[in-house]
Amino acid sequence: MGAAFAVALSNQPARAGDPRYPDWPCAQAKVPEISVAAVWAGPPLGDAANQWKDDPKINALVTKVAARRLPLEDAEKEIAGFLSAAAANKATAGKLLFAGLFDTLNAQRASVMNGLERVMRKQREAAEKIRSDTVALQALQDATPPDQAKVDELGNQLVWETRIFEDRRRVVKFVCEVPTTIDQRLFALSRAIQQELD
């Protein structure tokens, strides 16, 4: 394992598309938060943004339909059923439901994005460690006579460090899709609510 490899490795996580967000590892542009106006064209929310947590039924439904493991189609059916049953209170229930989904999904999205940036910082540290260990390994190999036990130990350590680095990089690539998935879910659920209110 040569120093050139370690240098190449260490440069990989350092590319940030936007200088305002140097720790953002994704190809997608970082949009720190979604605005209500970007996903809601329904009636003005008024106090709904603060009141949705006070309604146990809304709270339970928000938790259920915000969960990405629930297929979107099923979430939309849950919303339609809930708002149909709300009858005369449909507009209020719809606003509360949207406010809850907006808060919940925006918080999930922020959590994922913060996690991605934390991993990016760890990747930089890991790359630096790989680079310094590679230099140390070369020095051990160049010594006369080389201490084979130390060479083997450091060589094995480098293999593990590199494997962890690569595994994390693959995970980051996958997790980079999650904020977009959350955006799409919020937009679709918002549209489902608005269709019921029209």
Segment 172-188, tens digit of pLDDT: 988 999 999 999 999 99
CB 182 within 8 A of CB 112: yes
CB 97 within 8 A of CB 58: yes
pTM of the complete model: 0.79
Q: How far apart are CA 121 and CA 22, in angstroms?
A: 10
Ranking 128-132, 140-144, 185-189 by mean pLDDT, the lowest is: 140-144
CB 78 within 8 A of CB 64: yes
Q: How far apart are CA 80 and CA 75, in angstroms?
A: 9
For residue 81, what are its two tokens?
């059923």
Mean of pLDDT over the chain? 88
For residue 89, what are its two tokens?
């209170």
State residue 66's pLDDT score. Answer: 95
Q: How far apart are CA 139 and CA 135, in angstroms?
A: 6
State residue 17's pLDDT score. Answer: 64
End-to-end CA distance of the chain, in Å? 64
Which helix or strand (DSSP H or E) is residue 63 part of?
A: helix 56-66
Q: Is the pLDDT of residue 1 over 50?
A: no
pLDDT in tens, 43-54: 888 888 888 999
Residue 46 backbone zone (phi > 0: left; psi -120 to 50: alpha; other: beta): left
